[in-house]
Structure 1
Amino acid sequence: MSFEKLSRARIAQMVAQDIPDGAYVNLGIGIPTLVSSFLPDDRDVILHTENGIVGMGPGDSGAPLDLDLINASKEAVTLLPGASITDHVVSFAMMRGGHLDLTVLGAFQVSERGDLANWDTGEPGTIPAVGGAMDLVAGARQVYITMEHTTKDGQPKLVRECSYPLTGAGVVDRVYTDMAIIDITPGGMVVRAMVAGLSFGRLQELTGCPLALAGDWRALNAG
């Protein structure tokens, strides 16, 4: 059977739908920054950025670049009513002190135990960039990952053991890929949803560690 992979925007939309009302959330670089554009209007979600914004609003591509008002992807953002701007000391204290309900990050690899590698591949010409990721995964109550299911050359990014340096061990709770939504449980990875037209067997072939299929799994539409 044929299937259509989810777009980056669709992945972000699925994450946004799963964020509970009243949550304090940090959004990392890449796909996570798109989540802010899909938060339901009737849900009060407070967005935090490492550079010191609490109460970040939607992006504004037409605004002049203000380095005090940017997200993790260095894109211009707005402030919601009641927002505050802090220095890095306070911002990182929020991250490390358990004050964030959720952080949404990208990844190079996630292991079956929920180990996360997202800051260095060791490949020639790449620049390691851990940023605040280690602080976030250590302090946030939950960690969601957004990423493509495989690398550009088809290698699994969900693996038994991470081959890249770890950002954190056993920290990931859920992974949203362009093919599936997968929970990390004490018993391993459990598939909660798959794109329509993709068989579980094919998904397993594209994954570097064992998967289990939830009894109440659902199909995901690309649109």
Structure 2
Amino acid sequence: MGLGIETRHQIARRAALEIERGMIVNLGIGIPTLVADYIPGNYGVMLHTENGILGMGGSPPPGKEDGNLSNAGGYPVTLIPGASYFDSATAFGIIRRGLLDITVLGALEVSEQGDIANWIVPGKRVPGMGGAIDLAQKSKKVIVLMNHSDKEGNPKIVKNCKLPLTVKRGAHMIITEKAVIDIENEKLVLREVMYPHSVEEVVESTGAPLEIRNEVMTFQ
């Protein structure tokens, strides 16, 4: 079952708290795009996109879209003061030089070691993996936003990924509709639960062991 709009925004709002002043950040397709709405305007954060923008803004008002200005997913965007354009080669050069402070992306599975599978389900047609491999390998911090379970109710946080990997040991944090989980030394550490879920519910619905080191806070 998909997540409701309020839950999607709750996840995005929590992810935005990891972004600090002056950072360069790449937001993936889906829930990650919503994170832009929760980054304070006075933070000086520059949003990067693989198709060649640094300084991307939010979505334009209806009727004000520019057909020549979109993010890597093809959705219309705006610019902030100081933004710049460049070709895709330069955009990927920024990624591969390790200049991105944070990448926020979606995933199909994440393992307890931080392995990410997010580009293909065998037997299904997809347009390609895009910049996922470079982004997940080279960013200083990778935050995964996703459903805690798949449509059949199976955990998406697992001991070992079954789907083809995008990157090994690439994820640093996972945020779902149920929990905020850090990945430290190839172990999953439960940091927070998302309201209205409980620690017991999160542990039961996670397909790998969770460490609980300190008091687990609730994010509303």
Tell me, in whole angstroms, the C-alpha distance in 2 between the residues paired with 1:28 and 1:187. 24
Q: Deviation at 1:50? A: 0.4
Q: Are the counterparts in 2 of residues 30 and 73 from structure 1 also a CA contact under 8 Å?
A: no
In structure 2, the partner of 1:131 is 130
Tell me, in whole angstroms, the C-alpha distance in 2 between the residues paired with 1:198 and 1:181. 11
Q: Deviations over 1:141-181 (max 9, x none)?
A: 11000001000110100000101111100010000101000
In structure 2, the partner of 1:205 is 204
* Fraction of identical pairs, as percent: 41
With a CA cutoff of 8 Å and minimum separation of 6, indicate the structure with the bigger relative contact order.
1
Q: Are the counterparts in 1 of residues 27 and 47 from structure 2 also a CA contact under 8 Å?
A: yes
Q: Are the counterparts in 1 of residues 65 and 77 from structure 2 also a CA contact under 8 Å?
A: no
Unaligned residue ranges in structure 2 (runs of 5+)? none
Tell me, in whole angstroms, the C-alpha distance in 1 between the residues paired with 2:6 and 2:96. 33
1:182 aligns with 2:176: no
Structure 1 residue identity aligned to 2:36: S
Structure 1 residues 175 and 17: alpha-carbon distance in aligned structure 2, compared to 1, 3 A threshold: same
Tell me, in whole angstroms, the C-alpha distance in 2 between the residues paired with 1:199 and 1:79. 40
In structure 2, the partner of 1:195 is 194
In structure 2, the partner of 1:64 is 65
Structure 1 residues 76 and 160: alpha-carbon distance in aligned structure 2, compared to 1, 3 A threshold: same
Q: How does 1:85-96 map to 2 (within 5 A)?
A: 85-96=85-96
Structure 1 residues 157 and 168: alpha-carbon distance in aligned structure 2, compared to 1, 3 A threshold: same
TM-score scaled by length of structure 2: 0.92
Structure 1 residue identity aligned to 2:80: L
Tell me, in whole angstroms, the C-alpha distance in 2 between the residues paired with 1:201 and 1:187. 22
In structure 2, the partner of 1:49 is 49
Tell me, in whole angstroms, the C-alpha distance in 2 between the residues paired with 1:6 and 1:145. 18
TM-score scaled by length of structure 1: 0.91
Structure 1 residues 79 and 187: alpha-carbon distance in aligned structure 2, compared to 1, 3 A threshold: closer
Q: Are the counterparts in 1 of residues 52 and 87 from structure 2 also a CA contact under 8 Å?
A: yes
Q: Deviation at 1:203? A: 1.2
> Number of aligned pairs?
216
Tell me, in whole angstroms, the C-alpha distance in 2 between the residues paired with 1:99 and 1:141. 8
Tell me, in whole angstroms, the C-alpha distance in 1 between the residues paired with 2:93 and 2:45. 20
Q: Are the counterparts in 2 of residues 190 and 212 from structure 1 also a CA contact under 8 Å?
A: yes
Structure 1 residues 214 and 44: alpha-carbon distance in aligned structure 2, compared to 1, 3 A threshold: farther
Q: Are the counterparts in 2 of residues 204 and 210 from structure 1 also a CA contact under 8 Å?
A: yes
Q: Deviation at 1:200? A: 2.0
Q: Deviation at 1:187? A: 5.1
Report the secondary structure of 1:214's partner residue: coil
Tell me, in whole angstroms, the C-alpha distance in 1 between the residues paired with 2:34 and 2:42. 18
Structure 1 residues 92 and 191: alpha-carbon distance in aligned structure 2, compared to 1, 3 A threshold: same
